[in-house]
Amino acid sequence: MKKGKIILLVVLVMAAIAGAGFFGLKYGVGLMQNGLVANYPTVKNIVHGAATEFDSTATITLTKADDEALFDYLKGDLKSDTLQFSIPYYGRYAVDLSFRNFRVFKNEEEAVEVWLPACVLRYCELKFDGLVVNGKPSAALFKSDSGTDIRTKLYAYLIPVIENNKANQKAGKLAATKALMLYFMPYKLDLKVYIANQQQTLPVVPGANQTVDEAIKEAFNP
């Protein structure tokens, strides 16, 4: 009987230790998760650094009614009422948090919600030596007395066009979403990302919502 009591006591002590360890671990995980959510500077840097870069070409149909000054500059000696011109560019799209606020918090379901402003064209460089007007290389235009004015007019006309490229904006939003997934989801946090008030669909990202083993199996067994 005495031996049975000793065994029971040992079992109870071990259960208490295991329970304390479990609750201590759960408490520690909770603290870590809350720390991730509260770390605004890190979240800001992650989003700000998640840029998508493009080397592409803008192809534009231009009439005099669209922009008379630019049309006259590009037309030169061409006899046409409509110009088709193209110019290569380098663009960088990302969610810009330099002067914009964002929100990060846990909702009532303990999921992390991140609310971000729109994805924008953060940087753009036109490659003037690649300008083609109506199928004719036209970089020589920039060597004329009007070269500086032409550059200025091209930037003014093309920046809004390039910035509103839906495919490039989508890629920029996807980059920000993936970066946030890799920050939060490995720590067993559910995540909802909103950019310009639109909830983003979370893609499959190895290391976030897919294990590395699953990614390898999928790659070799499509």
- Domain chopping of the chain, boundaries: 39-220
pLDDT by residue (tens digit) across 159-196?
999 999 999 999 999 999 999 999 998 888 899 999 99
Give the C-alpha separation, 190 to 215, whole Å. Answer: 20
Give me the pLDDT at residue 130, please.
95
SS3 of the chain: helix, strand, coil, percent, to 5: 50, 25, 25
The band of 211, judged by pLDDT with boundaries at 50, 70 and 90, is: confident
Displacement of CA 33 from its chain's centroid (Å)? 23
The band of 208, judged by pLDDT with boundaries at 50, 70 and 90, is: confident
Give me the pLDDT at residue 34, please.
73
pLDDT by residue (tens digit) across 96-125?
887 778 999 999 998 999 999 999 999 999
Percent of the chain with pLDDT over 90: 55
Structure tokens at 185: 């989801």
| DSSP-derived pairing of the beta strands 191-195 and 112-116 | parallel
Entry field: residues in the chain: 222
Q: What is residue 1's three-state secondary structure?
A: coil
* Whether the Cβ atoms of residue 62 and residue 93 lie closer than 8 Å to each other: no
Give whole-number Cα distances, 208 to 38, 151, 160, in Å. Answer: 20, 44, 35
Q: What is the mean pLDDT of residues 3-19?
A: 43
Q: Bridge partners of 53? A: 92
Picking from 90, 94, 83, the residue whose alpha carbon sits closest to that of residue 59 is 83
Q: What is residue 80's three-state secondary structure?
A: coil
* Whether the Cβ atoms of residue 200 and residue 170 lie closer than 8 Å to each other: no
Lowest mean pLDDT among 12-26, 32-46, 61-75, 192-206: 12-26
CB atoms within 10 A of CB 6: 10
User: Which residues, at least 6 apart from 127, have a Cβ–Cβ distance to it below 8 Å?
Assistant: 87, 88, 89, 90
